[in-house]
Structure 1
Amino acid sequence: MKMKSLYFLISVFCVHILHSQTLIHHTTNYFGPNANPVPEFTDALIPESTILTLTGDYYFGHGDRTLSNNMKVEIPLIPEKVSVKVWKTLVEYYYVKDEIVSRRSMQKNSGFATGDFYIQTRIKILSEKINRPAFVLNSTLKTASGSDFKNRRFFNTAGYYFDFELGKSLMFSNSFIDEIRLVSDIGFFSWDVQTPNLNVQDDAIVYGLKLILKHKSISLENTFSGYKGWIRRVEDYGNRPIVFSSKLNFNVRKTLWFVQFQYGIKYFPYEQIRLGVQIPLENFTPNFFGKN
């Protein structure tokens, strides 16, 4: 009888150890859509004045529906040459199906969460000329400030990435298309991955291509982007997401309004509809050199 009790205690102890060492997959395939998305990149230009961007997103499909909003501010320290950008998912509401709760080891089907702060420095390395593209370096820090890790909405680890944007415009006269702009992006992305008794970094190559077509006050952006990480624990681990987005912009006076659809091609199990606005804040632009 004593031996049976001993075996029982040992079994309970082993189950507890195995449960406590369950691996959490820090990837887009096992977390919410705002946890570690494919980094966005711009048109390889730095603004002349401060810009506030507000967006509302609806992510759907694949058993997870998420409503969220995002605020982004880019402040040029040296107009068109150096800027600082800060953004954050202010709040998201999510509802997921039972099978997703089980797959991600979540504690509930629905709730609210708030996202991570991102801080980015942007530096123009080369200005665009007739025979060369614009060249912009971005350096970004992702803080571990998001909430609701237990329900797999945001990581509780930090990350960072460096990327280079190259952009070149082709101008046309007497044509329906006024300008075609081509932009490419390449970089390095890294984030902490918590494993039992050990912290590991997942490193990835970031890449992207963008085609921008402009006609007067309207422009269309088509973007293909993704990143490729090195960790592969299970077949669908998913740290190699690929997405495609199409964004339609409307300039109304000095304000830019836009609508975007994004499709998750691989390892990003969401489709996205985004509505947003960019508002110039000229009065909030630093003037370190006393220029008017």
Structure 2
Amino acid sequence: MRRIVVIIFTLSVANSYGQTFDWWAQLVHWDGVSEWPKYMITQPAYMGPNALPVPRIGNGSIDSSFSIAATGSLHFSKGDNTQNFTIYANYCLVKNVISFDASWIPYEHFTMSHAIKEQRHVFSHFYYDQQATGDIELNTTIQLLNRWRKDIQLALRIGYRFPTGTGLGVARYTDGPGYHFDLSFGKPVNTSLKWIGMLGFYSWQLINVGRRQDDAFLFGTGAEWNTKRVRLQTYVAGYLGYQLNSGDKPVVFRTTVEKKIKRTSFLLGFQQGLHDFKYSSIEVGTKFRFQ
């Protein structure tokens, strides 16, 4: 009986130790002075699936509609399972010339294992947190070279991420801004099929005192099948940061399907992480076009 009591006591102490300040201080080798954010690793491989996502690939054309969309996503990985809702909006200022689009995650729920929390340096005060709110992303897309549209379609996109997200202490969002710009293209193969791709630059703020910013080469290539009723995209995309062995080179494979029924569309997407992104993701939702 005494042995059982000792075992239970030992286990309870070990469990409580897993979320104390002493546990965290020992984990990150705290210097006794610096605040906890200094020890967070704001790189894609050490954050939640929505913190530093690979931008969606462009197809060389702007979206000339005014639309809103709502989706739900499931992200699966060893030690981190995440669910979230996302709101999208698109507004065309001048048809076939310039458009704006935005996205926001109003709610994210997650469960992480103790091992993942240790790997990501989760601060002890936030150890049991399971909810967060995401950043707001705003993009401006400008159509280029309309004269040669039959041969090739080109568009310039400039994007900015506003640090509105919560959950830095539990490694969900970076609490720092980011931006990117890219040139996307679409090379028609026939009336429905085209080769698509993007090349650009991606940058985000770091917390580490020695390095305040990470810069990356942004890329993507794939194919798009687009008819009056269905649009299908499949591609590989990612960005490659300049820091060695830091987890700043996420690459993903994506397939998205949009079924169009009058002004309403049904959306389905799949994403598989290939490097520095250990999630398999599914996204479903609807989109409504006002014009």
Fold shared per TM-score above 0.5: yes
Partner of 1:165: 184
Q: What is the SS of the residue equivalent to 2:44?
A: coil
Contact 1:30 1:104 in 2 (8 A): yes
- Counting only pairs closer than 5 Å after superposition, residues 196-215 of structure 1 correspond to structure 2 as 196=209, 200-214=212-226
Q: Report the TM-score when normalising by structure 2.
A: 0.83
Contact 1:28–1:241 (CA under 8 A) maintained in structure 2: yes
Query: Relative to 1, partners in 2 of residues 1:180 and 1:215: Cα closer, same or farther, differing over 3 Å?
Result: same
TM-score, length of structure 1 as denominator length:
0.83
2:207 to 194, 202, 207: 194
Match of 2:142 among 117, 120, 123: 123
- The residue correspondences of 1:39-78 to structure 2 (distance < 5 A) are 39-78=55-94
Structure 1 unmatched ranges of 5 or more? 1-11, 173-178, 283-292
User: CA offset at residue 109 of structure 1?
Assistant: 4.6
Comparing 70-79 with 40-49, greater Cα deviation is found at 40-49
The 3 A distance-change label for structure 1 pair 205 and 68 is: same
1:288 corresponding residue in structure 2:
none
Cα offset, 1:168, TM superposition: 2.2
User: C-alpha distance in 2, partners of 1:166/1:128?
Assistant: 14
Select which of 258, 282, 289 maps to 1:273: 282
Counterpart of 2:166 in 1: which secondary structure? Answer: coil
1:29 counterpart SS class: helix
Show the counterpart of 1:32.
48
Q: Does 1:240 align with 2:249?
A: yes
Decide which structure has greater helix share. 2
Paired with 2:228 and 2:170, the residues of 1 have a C-alpha distance of 46
Does structure 2 retain, via aligned residues, the 8 Å contact 1:182–1:211?
A: yes
- Measured after TM superposition, the shift of residue 249 of structure 1 is 2.2
CA distance in 2, matches of 1:20, 1:144: 18
Letter in 2 for 1:28: P
Q: How far has the Cα of 1:272 moved from its partner?
A: 0.2
Alignment correspondent of 2:260? 251
Aligned length: 261
- CA displacement, residues 121-175 of structure 1 (integer Å, 9 cap, x when unaligned): 1110122746631110011111111101100100011111011111122226xxx
Task: Please give the alpha-carbon distance, in whole angstroms, between the structure 2 residues aligned to 1:70 and 1:45.
Answer: 23
Aligned-residue CA RMSD (Å):
2.3
1:140 aligns with 2:140: no
C-alpha displacement of 1:88: 1.0
The structure 1 residue matched to 2:193, chosen from 180, 200, 225, is 180
Asked if 1 retains the 8 angstrom alpha-carbon contact of 2:58 and 2:198, the reply is: no
1:290 aligned residue: none
Are the aligned partners of 1:91 and 1:115 in contact in 2 as well (CA < 8 Å)?
yes
CA distance in 2, matches of 1:223, 1:38: 12
In the alignment, which residue of structure 2 is the partner of 1:99?
A: 115
Task: Compare the two structures and name the one with the higher strand fraction.
Answer: 1
- In 1, the alpha carbon distance for the partners of 2:135 and 2:35 equals 28
Letter in 2 for 1:49: S
Distance 2:37 2:90 in 1: 41
Task: Structure 2 unaligned segments of length 5 or more: list them.
Answer: 1-25
Partner deviation per Cα, 1:232-268 (whole Å, 9 max, x = no partner): 3xx4x21101100112221112222121111101110
